[in-house]
A = this chain, B = another copy of it.
């Protein structure tokens, strides 16, 4: 499943970090690492290891012992939870700059799977925890971030519990757009690295309803469906639906 490769392009592999390192890391300013001074960054870097995954690769699985935390530097990941009976729910999607393992539990509560070629900064959990224990402001930053995630989870609960299919889809598109903008990706078309089934499982809908809703929004010129994503044509309309 998980394809842990080091130096995939045949580059040298001192800790898998052949490029500029943390200081030049393009997600540095949008990620947890922004809490650190350059000294600390160097220390963090020595703990980290660049790892890549192929599409469909598993970063980690639910109930598995949590041996590491991750910072995504490239690609997109889906985060899901399984019910004993096989139903699945996609808790969310992690993009460039997102940090996985915030809460640092003993065992993972979710499964993380690559949707595209993914590159991460991987930190051994023990070493990372030990660093955090010594750097209260890093912990502070993690905690703030956890609070933010809790707020997002609340938004998502409200969405799941109290809204119709069209509202859900519109809100999903806008939220994703917002996240891309935050990390500086403001392309005309909104990339959808996940499939329709993933969107359905994220919104508590079926794949057919997601497909139909997107088709309708397209027919009504609120969006334009393009290969690999959608173009958002009528933002005000979408905001009216999903806001």
Contacts and interface: CB of A to CB of B under 8 A. Distances in A.
Interface in A138-196: 139-140, 142-144, 146-151, 153-154, 156-158, 160-162
Interface residues of A, number: 39
Nearest to A168: B161
Interface stretch (A48-56, A98-106, A227-235): A98-106
B146 A150 contact: yes
Contact of A151 (B109, B151, B157): B109
A140 B102 CA distance: 12
A173 B243 CA distance: 32
A149 B89 CA distance: 18
Taking the full assembly, how many copies of this chain does it contain?
2
Contacts of A158: 81, 83, 89, 91
B151 A154 contact: no
A20 interface: no
A88 B158 CA distance: 8
A156 B81 CA distance: 12
Nearest to A91: B154
Question: At the interface, is chain A mostly helix, strand, loop or mixed?
Answer: helix
Given A147-B102, A147-B146, A81 B154 contact: yes
A71 to B, nearest CB: 17
Interface in A54-107: 81, 83-84, 87-89, 91, 102-105
A104 B104 CA distance: 20
A204 interface: yes
Nearest to A87: B162
23 contacts: A83-B162, A84-B243, A87-B162, A89-B158, A89-B161, A89-B162, A102-B147, A103-B148, A105-B151, A133-B140, A139-B139, A143-B146, A150-B150, A153-B153, A153-B157, A156-B157, A157-B157, A157-B160, A160-B160, A160-B161, A161-B202, A161-B203, A162-B204
List 8 tightest A-B contacts by C-beta distance, closest first: A103-B147, A161-B204, A153-B153, A160-B160, A146-B146, A89-B158, A136-B136, A143-B143
